[in-house]
Amino acid sequence: MNRFLILIILLIRTASAFAQTDANLAQQYMSNGEYDKAADVYKKLFAENQNGYYKSYFNCLMILEDYKEINRIIDKQIKKNPTNLTYYVDLGKTYEKQQNDKEAQKQYEAAIQKLSDNRSQATQLANAFIGIDRLDFAIKTYQQAAKIATDYSFNYELAGLYNRNGDFDLSIDTYLNYYIEGDENAFNRTTSALRQMFDEDQDHQLLQEKLFIRIQNGKNELLYTELLIWDYIQLKDFDGAIIQAKALDKRNKENGERVLEIAETARTEGAYDAAIQAYDYIIAKGRDYPFYFNARNGVLNCHKDKIFKLGTYTIADVNALRTNYETFLLDYSRKDGRAAAVISDLARLEAFYASNIQRAIELIEPVIDWALLTEADRSKYKLDLGDFYLISGDVWEATLLYSQVDKAMKDAPLGEEARFKNAKLAYYRGDFSYAQGLLDVLKASTSELVANDAMQLSVFITDNLGLDSVAAPMLMFARADLLIFQNDIPKAIATLDSLETAFPGHKLTDDILFAKAQIALKLQKTDEAVALLEKIRQEYAFDLLGDDAIFKLGELYQYQYKDVEKAKLCYEQIILNYKDSLFVTEARKRFRALRGDVLGG
């Protein structure tokens, strides 16, 4: 590099450094309210770099109301950058400040009339109007730009501005116009915008009315129906969504995939009856359709969730689900992952809900040797089998299976789950120190579920045993806990009653009440369970199981008693009083849904 070039670079850097120093000085003057001094510095900087310091100089001059100098610099900028129409907006602002609205409007209109077929120019001008809170002229900008443009409608931008300007009805219409233009992002952008706009049910009703009118007109029927289905799902109206999805499926001779997706969403949201209706539609197509067995499996999962998750079942429901599982396996007759999952569910049904532990073991034992299973699936079913052996009283076989999974899946979540089961087994047997050693490690588990369970059991042991030399109450409770797991209800109740009698007022009282509530639910004695949980809520709300009891109460009031107000009170209590609870997020979601808020989907 020659000396001359080096000199030029040094001069440029020096000038830049001086300019930055002056800019900092001008900003300091502005902060101190010394606007005349700031204007002198900005005038110098503007002369050296018009584009770089125009806006700062302009803002300073506006404060000083030096309109003559403003006109001079704006004229200079327009001559230098004639395609930048925002200078007319700045000029209009000066007239507005001088109470000359007529001349201000003249400048705004002049800017709009100078628009060319340039999308970025229109966006720049509209943003300038938005910046001075003149949404009316921003709208006019896009409307004029849309007339000129050859390949862009500006409907998305206009729809947003119509909404901000208070024209909700026109905003929806314009979003719908944008939606059908074919933009690959149109569906996501439209639904995102509508989700943010809508606050009340009548907002959704207005959208649906508009969609029905457009669907009846016969143009873009598929697109509008897809948006209608989306809106039904926002409202958790899965019946409506499924009706529309089935209509599309029939009209377009589809294979049921769209209906299946909605069914899966409905099942996830707990709308089991609607989901079953959708699955049944696919099943009716016949076993030659690609999603036939997915739908058959979906129906089973809905009935399973009603029993396993909600606990709302009768013996007749258990027997019916068993029959459905067996029928599915006869029809499916393959030794693959899907069949294994169904057999596992059937075995769990037998073990935990039909008290047929030997049948559960006989079902799952052969599955473990299936060649097509992955090691993860094989390990998962070994854990099930370990549980079944524990229920049957074969503790040695249970711990052997848990340890096999621990070894085979050492660094995976299943391995951590197996270690937790061994820790729980040590707790059941009264070996609390060994259990604590395992739990201390599992608190840092990569599986959030295992880590939470480990933390909960560890805290429970510490809180109720601590330095107390009398371990008898904990030994009795752990024995009762195992009996509940083994579904030996009479012995479990007798053990808990003996514990209450022998150690009245012990710290375990809330745990005893909660255990009895769980037993009552197993026996379908819901009123008794609610009374026990309410006692925890009233007298032991801030003990370890306070949030567990109140959340379970909320579920029972919501799903069993259909008492929205009582369910809301429970969920609200979790939100307000148990901010660190694992139930807070779900409680907030359910509270908002019961209150009628529209949730994102």
* Torsion, Cα of 421, 423, 427, 433 (10° steps): 180
pLDDT tens digits along 238-278: 999 999 999 999 999 899 999 999 999 999 998 999 999 99
Q: What is the mean pLDDT of residues 158-177?
A: 96
Q: What is the band of 11 on the pLDDT scale with cuts at 50, 70, 90?
A: very low
Give every CB contact of residue 441 below 8 A, 6+ residues apart in sequence.
419
What's CA 224's distance to the chain center, in Å? Answer: 25
Domain ranges of the chain: 1-73, 472-595
Q: What is the mean pLDDT of residues 303-317?
A: 85
How many angstroms separate the CA atoms of 567 and 536, rounded?
16
Q: Which residue has the higher pLDDT, 125 or 200?
A: 125
Q: What is the band of 22 on the pLDDT scale with cuts at 50, 70, 90?
A: confident
Q: What is the mean pLDDT of residues 365-394?
A: 95
What local confidence, expressed as pLDDT, does residue 30 receive? 87
What local confidence, expressed as pLDDT, does residue 194 receive? 96
Residue with the two structure tokens 């514990």:
499
How many angstroms separate the CA atoms of 190 and 126, rounded?
20
Report H helices in 285-394. Answer: 292-308, 315-332, 337-352, 357-367, 375-392
Q: Which two tokens stand for residue 20?
A: 């930055």
Nearest 5°: the CA angle 94, 99, 103 is: 65
CB 354 within 8 A of CB 385: no
What local confidence, expressed as pLDDT, does residue 26 receive? 85
The yes-or-no verdict on residue 15 having pLDDT over 70 is no
What local confidence, expressed as pLDDT, does residue 3 receive? 55
How many angstroms separate the CA atoms of 137 and 140, rounded?
5
Q: What is the mean pLDDT of residues 325-336?
A: 92
Nearest 5°: the CA angle 212, 213, 218 is: 95
SS3 sequence, 277-297? HHHHHHHCCCCCCCCHHHHHH
Which residue, among 187, 156, 186, has the nearest Cα to 173 in the 3D structure? 156
pLDDT tens digits along 398-440: 999 999 999 999 889 999 999 999 999 999 999 999 999 999 9
Q: What is the CATH number of domain 472-595?
A: 1.25.40.10
Q: What is the band of 469 on the pLDDT scale with cuts at 50, 70, 90?
A: low
Give every CB contact of residue 488 below 8 A, 6+ residues apart in sequence.
none
Q: What's the predicted TM-score (pTM) here?
A: 0.74
CB count, 10 Å around CB of 494? Answer: 13
Judge residue 387's burial from the number of C-beta atoms within 10 Å of its C-beta, 0-12 exposed, 13-18 middle, 19 or more buried: buried
The pairs formed by 119-122 with CB atoms below 8 angstroms and a separation of 24 or more are: 119/145, 119/149, 119/152, 121/83, 121/85, 122/149, 122/154
The yes-or-no verdict on residue 467 having pLDDT over 90 is no
What local confidence, expressed as pLDDT, does residue 2 receive? 55
- The top-level CATH class assigned to 1-73 is mainly alpha
How many angstroms separate the CA atoms of 61 and 123, rounded?
26
Q: What is the band of 466 on the pLDDT scale with cuts at 50, 70, 90?
A: low
How many angstroms separate the CA atoms of 115 and 317, rounded?
70
What local confidence, expressed as pLDDT, does residue 17 receive? 43
CB 316 within 8 A of CB 340: no
Q: What is the mean pLDDT of residues 313-336?
A: 92
Q: What is the mean pLDDT of residues 103-120?
A: 95
The yes-or-no verdict on residue 589 having pLDDT over 90 is no
CB 357 within 8 A of CB 347: no
CB 442 within 8 A of CB 420: yes
CB 409 within 8 A of CB 376: yes
How many angstroms separate the CA atoms of 172 and 577, rounded?
40
Q: What is the band of 9 on the pLDDT scale with cuts at 50, 70, 90?
A: very low
Type and span of the H or E element at 247 = helix 238-251
How many angstroms separate the CA atoms of 244 and 242, rounded?
5
Q: What is the mean pLDDT of the chain?
A: 91
The yes-or-no verdict on residue 474 having pLDDT over 70 is yes
Q: What is the mean pLDDT of residues 438-447?
A: 90
The yes-or-no verdict on residue 16 having pLDDT over 70 is no
